[in-house]
Chain A
């Protein structure tokens, strides 16, 4: 093999050596030879093509010509092996081209022997495996990258390849699985029965298309069994020969969960009492649950593909664009109360909750609408409102009646003060006329006239007291500081019956001011003093002392007398209306005096009370806020 390049014409010569030379010369593989010293001795066209050096550039040079610097010792080591008589096959390495670029090559090295059989050099066949390797790498990366598990076997089912997804799912690595039968590697069982399932390999070998695995298959893996779906297919060459079998499968746990969740939601939706409806952006109904059938009366079949406007009363058609606009901005519409129409034309009150339905990219593609029939709730509300209105109406009526009663009371008081007094005045007046003008003719009869006049005076007082009480009952006088000391002293000064010689009424200490209504305070003091000087044993000079006691934030005005005193059991009833302790024979009174004081005290946020025991006098007190 000394010729560098034999011409093709040599092939026809019938010379075996020439034929070999022609083969070497025309091979697309790089074929070259070197002596044991590493000097290149032949260099074919394939080598010229692969490495970029012409034959005359390479022959005679060291083989290091095409070794990258980092692999400088590699050729020497290879030569040494060949020198020992070894064949080196498929040695994959990198060589350097004339232009400096690197090329991946697979090299076969064989010894060259002389006629005596001694090794004198090495022949080297180098093949560019860069393209092939890249294609393989692409395939590997592709298989590694796809989400599905891929296992391939030879025609007999012996595993020759597993991608990482398959490794993960099955729980063993490629090296472990290689060489084993696929039945031992991929084991699937029925999710339903738990029995072993067979992957339809034979069917796939007969079919042009991939064949599905049995449904509801569970793949036992390192992390428990997972639901899987898979296909099996024959690997066919371009010419149709079967080179192996490929199994492609995927874990469908997530999808199964999503399906379960979707089924659950679907069950919820279909079982809901509320109407749950979805529609697209044009308002066309895309789903219609049983609740919607019940609430609106239209069946799913009647509504699918129809406009939602069908359930919206004409006068509310304007609501729909508003709602559409709102949820297209992505906002929900919650508890929107409106009216919808049923198939039978009746109106129902509904509460709507409307949410946007989005596609995977987040675009709003429709709306789901939950409508709750609140007709009954509304009716209940309306009833409540009606009751509330009725109640209000009643309160108004009662208030009006009460106001009328108060008005009546005022009219009654007014009437008393005018009408009742007129005849009384006549009785007194004519008694006077009789007494004054005809007294001398009446003799002892004048005594009876005196009694008529005394009786009419008592009646006048009674009327005054009733009027005073009535005024207190319906008036709310403004409460201001009242100078009790001045009021008490003035009262004594202008009433002869409270002065000597008829009574001894004293105010030893100045009295503090209180908060009240002056006229009312005067009325109280007046009534208390009237009582104090009235109820004394016959022949006794009434002695009354007015004093004050501090009682927290209040002041007690005390009126202490030397009167007959009051039994403890009688004290409780003293302040009742028209209650009189003394018998009318001895002491005159209307029975209203203390009731007036009590009512007056209440009106001024105060209270009244008494301390007394029979024979030891009484102390009546009026307690009012201190000014």
Chain B
């Protein structure tokens, strides 16, 4: 169990951005599992092990969440609120957004985000995150 590589969860509604994340992973040489959900509700279900995500073998609990902010339905802030305030989960969350706005940065920090990354993600940023959160890389 201990030797199993860390699982990442990417919450991203934009397929292009998801592609760039996967590419950044590849370029960083990471073979860790990167599970992708495309909206806030799915993210909550995944983290909750609810609905179709009940199987933790197939959908392991992640050790880092990359969270987009702007999404249809429940957005990134809603997910952050659910994670930190409602379920009080301590999984690391790195906000990954195109917004450099101070107001978004502040709000994310208040809701308990651990990182605030501006898109696009690069391999250096990914590796820095792995180091910072002591993730097991493969």
Contact = CB atoms under 8 A, between A and B. Distances in A.
| Interface size range of chain A in the complex | 10 to 19
B98 A418 contact: yes
B23 A422 contact: no
Nearest to A418: B70
A414 B23 CA distance: 27
B23 A425 contact: no
B95 to A, nearest CB: 13
Interface stretch (B13-21, B42-50, B84-92): B13-21
B29 interface: no
B16 A426 contact: yes
Contacts of B120: 425, 428-429
A422 B98 contact: yes
The interface centre, meaning the residue of B69, B98, B119 with most chain A CB atoms within 10 A of its CB, is B98
A338 interface: no
Contacts of A425: 16-17, 20, 98, 119-120
Interface string B18-57: 0110010000000000000000000000000000000000
Interface residues of B, number: 15
A417 interface: yes
Contacts of A414: 99, 101
A503 to B, nearest CB: 25
A421 B16 contact: no
Contacts of A426: 16-17
A469 to B, nearest CB: 14
A422 B101 contact: no
B16 A417 contact: no
Given A429-B120, A433-B23, A422 B14 contact: yes
A414 B100 CA distance: 10
B6 interface: no
A332 B120 CA distance: 85
A430 B14 CA distance: 14
Summarize A's interface: helix, strand, loop or mixed. Answer: helix
Contacts, number: 36
A422 B19 CA distance: 13
A417 B118 CA distance: 11
Nearest to A420: B98
A417 B23 contact: no
A425 B23 CA distance: 14
A464 B101 CA distance: 10
Summarize B's interface: helix, strand, loop or mixed. Answer: loop
Contacts of A467: 101
Contacts of A413: 101
A429 B20 contact: yes
Contacts of B99: 414, 417-418
Nearest to A437: B23
Interface in A390-421: 413-414, 417-419, 421
B78 to A, nearest CB: 16
Contacts of B17: 422, 425-426
Contacts of A429: 16, 19-20, 120
Contacts of A421: 98, 119
Contacts of B101: 413-414, 417, 467
Nearest to A423: B16
A428 to B, nearest CB: 8
Contacts of A430: 16
A419 B68 CA distance: 12
A461 to B, nearest CB: 13
A419 B14 CA distance: 10
Nearest to B99: A417
Contacts of B97: 418
A464 B119 CA distance: 14
A422 B100 contact: no
A425 B20 CA distance: 10
Interface string B99-117: 1110000000000000000
Interface in A459-481: 464, 467
Interface in A423-474: 425-426, 428-430, 433, 464, 467
A426 B16 CA distance: 6
Nearest to B16: A426
A414 B70 CA distance: 10
A347 B98 CA distance: 70
A425 B98 CA distance: 9
Interface of B: 14, 16-17, 19-20, 23, 69-70, 97-101, 119-120
Interface of A: 413-414, 417-419, 421-422, 425-426, 428-430, 433, 464, 467
9 contacts: A414-B99, A418-B70, A418-B99, A421-B98, A421-B119, A422-B16, A422-B98, A425-B20, A429-B19
In the complex, the 3 A-B pairs of residues with the closest C-beta atoms, listed nearest first: A426-B16, A421-B98, A418-B70
